[in-house]
Amino acid sequence: MSEHVVLTLTRIEATHLAELLGQFAELVGSSPAIPDPALERLTPDVYPEDAEASREFRSLTRSDLLRRRAEDARVVLDGLAAIEHEDELAPVEVSVDAAQLRAWMRTLAAVRLVIADRLGIVDDDEDRDPDDPRYGVYDWLGYRLELLVQTAEQGF
C-alpha cells in the first residue's frame, strides 16, 4: 500500500486551482452582510421539514464547518505552493499523503458546489451546452475529484 498518491497537473492548472482556492478560502472565511447562496449550499439544512431545528443546528455548526473548509483549502494550497512555475504546460507532480487526501477531496467537492451554485447547476444530469466554456472548470474539478475518490477507494 502506497503512503501517498501523486497527482499530475500542468503548472497552469495548478496556478488556476490555487487562484480558485484562494477565492474559496476568502469566501468561507468571510461573514457577508447579505446571505450568500453558495455558503448556504455548503451548509445545507439538515432538517428540511423543520426550519427552526435547521436554523438552530446551523447556528451551532456553521462556523466550525466553514473553518474546517478553510483549513482544508489551506492544505491543498500548501501542496500547490511547492510547485515551481516555469513552463506553464509542463506536467508537475503533487504528492498527496493519506492525511491530506480527505482534505483534497472535501475541498474540490466544496469548490465545485460553489461553482455549481454560481452557474445555477442543481443536478449534474441537467441539460447544458457542452461547448459553454463556463462549465469547463466545473467539469475539470469533477474529473480531478473522481480520480482522487477512485484512489481512496482502492485503499490508498
The predicted-structure confidence for 65-100, as pLDDT tens digits, reads as follows 999 999 999 999 999 987 766 777 778 888 898 889
Q: At what angle do helices 136-153 and 98-119 cross, to 10 degrees?
A: 150
Q: Is residue 1 pLDDT above 70, yes or no?
A: no
Q: Any idea what the Cα angle at residue 99 is, between residues 26 and 156, rounded to 5°? A: 125
Residue 27 has pLDDT above 70, yes or no: yes
The pLDDT assigned to 115 comes to 92
Nearest to residue 62, comparing CAs of 87, 101, 36, 89?
Answer: 36
> E strands, 67-126, where?
91-97
Q: What are the E-state strand segments in 45-140? A: 91-97
Q: Which has more pLDDT, 103 or 153? A: 103
| Three cell numbers, residue 118 | 454560481
pLDDT tens for each residue of 39-60: 988 988 889 899 999 989 988 9
- In terms of pTM, does the model score above 0.75? yes
Burial class (CB in 10 A: 0-12, 13-18, 19+), 90: exposed
